[in-house]
Amino acid sequence: MNTRLHLSVGAAAVLLLSGCATNPVTGKKQISLVSEGQEVAMGAQSDPAVTAQFGLYPDAKIQKFIDEKGQKMAAVSHRPTLKYQFKVVDSPVINAFAVPGGYVYFTRGIMAHFNNEAQFAGVLGHEIGHVTARHSAQQQTKAILGQVGLMGAMIASPQVAQFGEQAMQGMQLLFLKFGRDDERQSDELGVEYSSKIGYDASQMADFFQTLAREQQKGQTEAIPDFLSTHPNPEDRYNTVHQLADKWKAANGSPKLAINRDQYLRLIDGMVYGEDPKQGFVENSVFYHPDLKFQLPVPTGWKHQNTPQQFQMADPGGKALLVLMTAPGNTPEEAAQALVQQLKLQPGASQRTTINGFPALVFEADQVQQDPQTGQQVAGVHVLGHIIQDGKTLYALMGVAPPAEFPNYARQFTGVAQAFRRLTDADKLNRQPERIRIKKLTLRSNLAQALTTHGVPAKRHEELAILNGMQLNEQVNAGSLIKVVGK
């Protein structure tokens, strides 16, 4: 024990002495164990996983817009020599995030909720700020130092959630949580950068109110909530307004752009909410029109769909079902590939058929070595079903701790046995909702305008949030508003 402690302290001291760097934003020395080259390498390694996980939104004009604005802003940032990449990913979740090395992503969900270019620019500056201030690199440094300090500690047995993370192929960089100081600094940089390229940064503060209203709806986020480290959006709203006013005063109160109509016309026709062709859940059944299959979702289970996989989780966190495509030409090849990829110890397997599809059922264990004893400790037990549809192989992996597995085995099997061809024309031809931009002919309040354009009353508050307005707010004739429709 004492030897381990001395080794840990000594290793930490070496790292501290050799890992100092100058922060590009503050100009101050700080501990950093991640070089700029390593940052770029991390981003380059993560980018294929991000785009595979969410997919890029297939709209060339929107992708061109974010890249042009991003490159212009990057040029006035504290790290203009980085080779930045800016992309809109095909997810309905309202979020924007950055990974080390200059990779910045916006979801189509957040793009749908902006109501002018200035709101977009403020959030873009915020995300570039995370990169220029090296917040992600600092998070990695903290993780490394934490590991050094815990070299002699016991590592807990793998949990079901860890299996899910492994199945999602290393998306950890997306889930870095920034502290309040980092978020505030990025807000400041968002104001500075967006103002420098000519946008009214106070609009970013207004967008925080839209996010706060959306958050109050209890929306479930698939990736980290943009407000997760800010439980008091009103305070953030006031602070950003003050920062924007201060920048204007210090720079001669220039006329700054908002560009509402230009932005709304840009997103006219954008997919809103879930895109059915990527799969959707209705009445506890998951349908995939493009791949033409369906399977049930256990009653009460949470679910998350991405282009890469469909996950179902027991509300108590004791079991997980993951559906994904698998490599190989046969079910046996697919099973072998998954065993290697997920570091499983295979058990019994058996050929079968599921509703006419060739299939393979196998069991396996995922174990972990205890660093103290060198012995293997129990992890999770896996029941896998490989289902072959022509040249496509699907893997449905049921996962639970060994003690809990008997309670879920029949449920895992039941879901797999219910996998079948989708033939319902209504499900196969389901179309997504899209944002439609409408020009008002008469002055009215927003509620009346929405009713005039066929929006049912039960969706008025949702559309008010989407428009960044209140239902009783007056809207002039000639103004543009968002509605949604097929």
Rounded to 5 degrees, what angle do the CA atoms 74, 78, 83 make? Answer: 45
Cβ proximity of 160 and 320 under 8 Å: yes
Residue of 463, 468, 470, 474 whose CA lies nearest to 440: 474
Mean pLDDT of the chain: 82
Q: Which residue has the higher pLDDT, 418 or 1?
A: 418
Q: In angstroms, how far apart are the furthest CA atoms of the chain?
A: 79
- Residue 20, pLDDT > 70, answer no
Residues 6 or more apart in contact with residue 255 via CB below 8 angstroms: none
Torsion of Cα atoms, 42 then 325 then 382 then 346, to 10°: -90
* Model pTM score: 0.75
Residue ranges of the alpha helices (H) in 253-398?
A: 260-266, 331-341
Query: Where does the pLDDT of residue 417 fall: very low under 50, low under 70, confident under 90, or very high at 90 and above?
Result: very high
Kindly tell me if the per-residue pLDDT of 337 is higher than 70: yes
Range of 11-15, 22-26, 48-52 with top mean pLDDT: 48-52
Look at residue 215 in the predicted model and tell me its pLDDT.
Answer: 76
Mean pLDDT of 144-159: 27
pLDDT at 431 > cutoff 90: yes
Interval 275-304: pLDDT, tens: 999 899 999 999 999 999 999 999 999 988
Q: Which residues contact 126 (CB under 8 A, 6 or more apart)?
A: 96, 186, 187, 189, 190, 204
Output the CA–CA distances (angstroms, integers) from residue 289 to 180, 284, 312, 328, 356, in the order listed: 43, 16, 19, 23, 19
Residues 384-406: what's their mean pLDDT? 95
Whether the per-residue pLDDT at 243 is higher than 90: the answer is: yes
Pair 99, 175: CB distance under 8 Å: no
Nearest Cα neighbor of 454 from 472, 438, 431 is 438
The secondary structure element, H or E, covering residue 45 is helix 36-54
Model confidence pLDDT, tens digit, residues 216-226: 775 434 333 44
End-to-end CA distance of the chain: 65
Sign of CA dihedral 171, 174, 175, 177: positive
CA distance 343 to 398: 15
Task: Determine the Cα–Cα distance for residues 282 and 170; give it in Å rounded to an integer.
Answer: 30
pLDDT at 237: 85
Cα–Cα separations (whole angstroms), residue 425 to 121, 292, 430: 42, 11, 8
Q: E strands of 265-307, at which residues?
A: 271-272, 280-282, 285-288, 293-296, 302-305
Domain borders along the chain are: 2-266, 276-428, 432-485
The CATH class given to the 276-428 domain equals alpha beta
pLDDT digits (tens, 9 = 90+) for 89-136: 998 888 888 888 899 999 999 999 999 999 999 999 999 998 998 876
User: What pLDDT does 21 receive?
Assistant: 55
pLDDT of residue 177: 54
- State the pLDDT confidence band at 208, using cuts at 50, 70 and 90: confident
Instruction: Tell me the pLDDT tens digit for each residue of 176-201.
Output: 456 777 788 888 999 999 999 999 99
Q: Is-contact 34 141, C-beta < 8 A?
A: yes
Confidence of residue 248 (pLDDT cuts 50, 70, 90): very high
The mean per-residue pLDDT over the stretch 305-323 comes to 88
pLDDT above 70 covers a percentage of the chain that reads: 78
DSSP state string for 191-222: HHHHHHTTB-THHHHHHHHHHHHHHHTTPPPS
Q: Name 173's Cβ contacts closer than 8 Å, sequence gap at least 6.
A: 42, 46, 99, 100, 136
Q: In the chain, count of helices (H) and strands (E)?
A: 16, 21
Least-confidence region, from 37-51, 364-378, 405-419: 364-378
Q: What average pLDDT score do residues 383-409 get?
A: 95
Question: Which of 11-25, 299-313, 316-330, 453-467 is predicted least confidently?
Answer: 11-25
Strand partners, 20: 31
